[in-house]
Amino acid sequence: MMPVPPDEAARLRELEDLQALDAPLEPDFQSIAELAASICRTPIALVTLVGKDWQHFRGRSGFDTPELERRIGFCPYVVSGGEPLEVPDALADPRFQDDPLVAGEPHLRYYAGVPLSGGRGHTLGTVCVLDYRPRRLAPEQHRTLGVLASHAAALLELHRHARQAGEVARRLQDVEELKQQFLRSVNHELRTPLTSIRSYLQLIQDGGLDEPTERNFLGVIERNSERLLSLLDELLLMASLNAHTAVFTPERANLSAVTREAVDISMAKAGRRDQALRMHAPAEVPVWADAGRLRHALVHLLDNAVKFTPAGGRIDVVVTPGPGPRVEIHDTGIGIGAEDLEHVFEDFYRAPEAESQAIGGTGVGLSIVNKIIQLHGGAIRMNSKPHEGTCVQISLPDPPRS
């Protein structure tokens, strides 16, 4: 019967965290195996990691097989016992005399292995040497195997830290790219209305305008000022949601009524693009929500649907009662590719479709929506395919029973 250590589950978790089992041969571990074979004067030496069902050889000298079933050989006994193991003559040892490696090719007779222990104290594998004849190692050779096993364990940790450092570097690069994208977007979103305000103010200051023209210019200035204030409000809201300081006061509300308010706010924008915006909902759908926050999130979603749906398209809003009341927004827009769907709720993310078609925005809208829905204890999901439209589904909590 294959020996199994008492800490098997935790040991396997550590191996999984190290991501070491499926890695190819590496020069560092190969050098350890070759050094072990040279010092111990054996034809075979291995750096072995013992997984759930297989023994994986990360370094090997004199042995071509990259892995063996765990039920075969000597190393599982070292892993199970957590102690060095020396088998002077495998044919004389009842545990191994019928082992395929002993009774058949390559007819091994000698084994010496020491535990390769991970940073959490679990025996992950061995550094071992094998021979085709009975023998024993000298004490200094045993000590050298122990030192080599310690070096192999340190290498595993170094490789893990290197992978983590690489992942951190990749994430920092992603953050830098997002920051640059955000700066480009915000620069455009801020500069455009500011330039407009400055130009119209200059024209008014120059004088010579009739009253209707001046009123028209003041109207343009007012609209651009509102656009700037709206952008700043959104950035401040996202910051407060990230810092968990946003005011949130949930209470019993009517999801149909809140959704109707959001649809009414968006109706004019859809009308200007000749889009059909329709709502399908029962009169009363109880929900536990901060009505203002939820309406804000729904307006964002409808604004996105309007922006990304071509003129003459259709947007349908469906409210479904509980348990687990839901809102679904379907549009016939340009859609989103599968590779972008997993990123759409990230801060400052803008899909390539938005960039290529010069559709305005800063990339904070869907991030704010996601954070508001999470604040409610709800969930949001988006399904979309390019040129086939998008469906956003929001599920929210029921009101508590009184």
Whether residue 378 contacts residue 251, with contact meaning beta carbons closer than 8 Å, is answered with no
| Region of 379 on the Ramachandran plot (φ > 0 left; ψ -120 to 50 alpha; else beta) | beta
Those residues with Cβ within 8 angstroms of residue 38's Cβ, 6 or more apart along the chain or in another chain: none
**How far apart are the C-alpha atoms of 320 and 34, rounded to whole Å?**
68
> Which residue ranges make up each domain of the chain?
8-165, 172-231, 251-395
Q: Whose structure tokens read 């054996």?
A: 42
Whether residue 53 contacts residue 76, with contact meaning beta carbons closer than 8 Å, is answered with no
> Distances in Å between the alpha carbon of 79 and those of 34, 325, 379?
22, 53, 45
DSSP string of 305-330? HHHTS-TT-EEEEEEE-SSS-EEEEE
Position 221 scores a pLDDT of 84
Those residues with Cβ within 8 angstroms of residue 40's Cβ, 6 or more apart along the chain or in another chain: 112, 129, 137, 141, 144, 145
Those residues with Cβ within 8 angstroms of residue 231's Cβ, 6 or more apart along the chain or in another chain: 186, 189, 190, 362
Q: Give the pairing type, strands 44-50 and 54-61.
A: antiparallel
User: Tokens for 273?
Assistant: 């693009």
Position 362 scores a pLDDT of 63
Position 187 scores a pLDDT of 63
CATH (residue range 8-165): 3.30.450.40
C-alpha neighbours within 13 Å on the C-beta side of residue 250: 18
Those residues with Cβ within 8 angstroms of residue 155's Cβ, 6 or more apart along the chain or in another chain: 28, 29, 32
51: nearest Cα among 86, 6, 20:
20
Topology, domain 251-395: Heat Shock Protein 90 (3.30.565)
Q: Pick 172-231's CATH classification: 3.90.1170.50, 3.30.70.260, 1.10.3720.10, 1.10.287.130.
A: 1.10.287.130
DSSP string of 162-192? HHHHHHHHHHHHHHHHHHHHHHHHHHHHHHH
Whether residue 161 contacts residue 52, with contact meaning beta carbons closer than 8 Å, is answered with no
pLDDT tens sequence for the chain (402 residues): 678 889 999 999 999 888 878 766 778 899 999 999 999 999 999 999 999 999 999 999 999 888 999 999 999 999 999 999 999 999 999 999 999 999 999 999 999 999 999 888 899 999 999 999 999 999 999 999 999 999 999 888 888 887 788 787 887 777 677 666 666 666 666 777 778 888 888 888 888 888 888 888 888 888 878 777 777 777 788 788 888 888 999 999 999 999 999 999 999 999 999 999 999 999 999 999 999 999 999 999 999 999 999 999 999 999 999 788 999 999 999 998 888 888 888 877 766 555 544 455 566 888 899 999 999 999 999 999 988 999 999 999 999 886
Those residues with Cβ within 8 angstroms of residue 64's Cβ, 6 or more apart along the chain or in another chain: none
Q: 139-206 and 8-18 are packed helices; what angle lies between their axes, rounded to 10 degrees?
A: 50
Whether residue 31 contacts residue 59, with contact meaning beta carbons closer than 8 Å, is answered with yes
Position 115 scores a pLDDT of 96
**How far apart are the C-alpha atoms of 221 and 207, rounded to whole Å?**
16
* DSSP alpha helix (H) spans, 118-138: none
How many residues appear in the chain? 402
| Maximum CA extent, the chain | 112
What's this model's pTM, rounded to 2 decimal places?
A: 0.51
